[in-house]
Amino acid sequence: MDIFLQTLVAGILKGGLYGLIGIGMSLIMGVMGIINLAHGQLMMVAMYITFVLSHYVGIDPYLSLFITMPSLFLLGALIQKYTLNPLMEVDSILPENQVLMTVGIGMVLVETSRFIFTSDYKSVQTSYSDATFYLGEISFSVALVIAFFIAIGFTLFMFWFLLKTDIGRSIRATAQDKDAALLMGVDSKKITIITFGLGAALVGAAGTILMPIYYLFPDIGGPFTRKAFVITILGGLGSTVGAIFGGLTLGLAEAFGASYIGMAYDDMIGLIIFILVLLFLPGGFKRLTKI
């Protein structure tokens, strides 16, 4: 029973973070209709920024959110403005040109990081990195709990933003019907730029709050990109609420898989879920709620 509860807690904590990663991807998917295959790589960039700030300037990782998120927003916006938006006007054979572009951008990000920081493992050691507290028999990693609450905070903020602000409404309108939004006077280019920026900033936040717990190396982004798209598919392409459920499901599945089946299968579980969803629930959780 203890193992079960411990696993449940671990899964939920992880799931909250995954949700944060997934929301960014879902936003981009919803508005631009593309899978951002540089998503994890953007997270990796945020992690390196956090690392540099902590290691060389001595800024606490959580404080550095105020720097990493705007930086990532800017990076995302620039990527959208100068590499993805121009592609909308280019006639190419493959409609997936923008997706392929994100692959190229991901490569550039990874290799630039490798260029600067080499492939060595980096980590940020804080006083709370290894700290744990107990509730009954169940242990909680302090850093993971903080990360979880920050993730929840950002998630709630995102919902407030999407529901209550003008830009948020424009984003939702564009995601629902691009042409109609255009007719209603929404500047769709501006919206795509803001959306990609937001997506990048959110995944950047996830990277930063993971930094006290994780090791960092240039290739860390790849697995997270894959997780992000499993979450996005699970939640139903483009659904932000779905992304949270997707994130929780993946987090729980990974935790239970690791406890009860074996650590080696951690990655495999996401894939199996992914394939099952493709086979039996194309459209993800969103579809369940719609019917």
Q: Which is nearer to other proteins, 59 or 103 (CB)?
A: 103
Examine residue 168 and tell whether it contacts other proteins (CB under 8 A): no
> 94, 135, 183, 263: which one contacts other proteins (CB under 8 A)?
94
CA-CA distances (angstroms) from residue 189 to 27, 176, 218?
A: 15, 15, 31
Q: Do 24 and 200 touch, CB atoms closer than 8 A?
A: yes
Q: How far is the CB of 170 from other proteins (least distance, A)?
A: 24
Q: Spell out where 132-261 has E strands.
A: 132-135, 138-141
Length of the chain: 291
- Regarding 60 and contact with other proteins (CB under 8 A), the answer is no
Pick 101 or 143: Cβ nearer other proteins:
101
The gap between the terminal CA atoms of the chain, to the nearest Å, is 36
Cα–Cα distance, 154 to 1 (Å, whole number): 32
- Give the span between the Cα atoms of 152 and 29, in whole angstroms: 21
121 lies in the binding site for other proteins (CB under 8 A) = no
Contact 197, 77 (CB under 8 A): yes
Please identify which residue in the block is written with the tokens 């803001």: 194
Query: Is 259 one of the binding residues for other proteins (CB under 8 A)?
Result: no
Binding segment for other proteins among 102-110, 134-142, 145-153, 209-217 (CB under 8 A)?
A: 102-110
Near other proteins by CB under 8 A, which window of 55-63, 67-75, 84-92, 243-251? 84-92
Q: Considering the complex, state which of residue 114 and residue 169 has its C-beta at the smaller distance from other proteins.
A: 114
Rounded CA separation 12/180 (Å): 38
* From 59-67, 87-95, 148-156, 165-173, span contacting other proteins (CB under 8 A): 87-95
Closer to other proteins by Cβ: residue 131 or 275: 275
Q: Is 264 in the site for other proteins (CB under 8 A)?
A: yes
Residue 111 engages other proteins in binding (rule: CB under 8 A): yes
> Residues 28, 36: contact at Cβ < 8 Å?
yes
Chain-centroid distance, C-alpha 44 = 11
* Smallest separation (angstroms) from other proteins to the CB of 289: 15
Q: Which H/E stretch holds residue 44?
A: helix 39-52
> Is residue 246 within 8 Å of residue 284, measured between CB atoms?
yes
Of the candidates 3, 66, 104, 261, which one interacts with other proteins according to CB under 8 A? 104
Point out which residues bind other proteins (CB under 8 A).
35, 83, 86-87, 90-97, 99-101, 103-105, 107-108, 110-112, 114-115, 222, 226, 229, 233, 237, 264, 267-268, 271, 274-275, 278-279, 282
